[in-house]
Amino acid sequence: ALLIVVNDKVSEVTINMGLPSFNPSDYHGNSETEIINKVININNKDYNITSMLMGVPHTIIIDELNKYDVGEGKDIEKFNLFSQGTNVNFCEVKNRNHIIVKTWERGAGATLACGTGSCASVVACNKLDLVDNIVKVTIPGGELTIEITNSGIMMTGPAEVVFTGRI
Question: What is the rounded distance in angstroms from the CA atom of residue 73 to the CA atom of residue 59?
Answer: 9
Neighbours of 70 (CB within 10 A): 17
40 or 10: which leads in pLDDT: 40
Span 92-107, average pLDDT: 98
Question: What is the rounded distance in angstroms from the CA atom of residue 60 to the CA atom of residue 107?
Answer: 17
Handedness of CA 72, 85, 111, 137 (dihedral sign): negative
Q: Residue 135 gets which letter from DSSP? A: E
Q: Which runs of consecutive H residues, i.e. helices, occur in the chain?
A: 73-77, 115-127
Give the pLDDT of residue 11.
Answer: 82
94 or 159: which leads in pLDDT: 94
CB burial of residue 110 (10 Å; 0-12, 13-18, 19+) = middle
**What predicted TM-score, i.e. pTM, was given to this entire model?**
0.93
Domain limits, the chain:
17-158
- Whether 1 shows a pLDDT value over 80: the answer reads no
Q: Phi, psi at residue 43, to the nearest 5°?
A: 55, 45
Name the pLDDT band for 146 (thresholds 50, 70, 90): very high
% the chain with pLDDT above 70: 100
Name the pLDDT band for 60 (thresholds 50, 70, 90): very high
51 or 159: which leads in pLDDT: 51
Give the pLDDT of residue 75.
Answer: 96
Among the four given CATH numbers 3.10.310.10, 2.40.70.10, 3.40.1280.10, 3.30.70.1140, the one describing domain 17-158: 3.10.310.10
Is 104 in contact with 70 (CB distance < 8 Å)?
Answer: yes
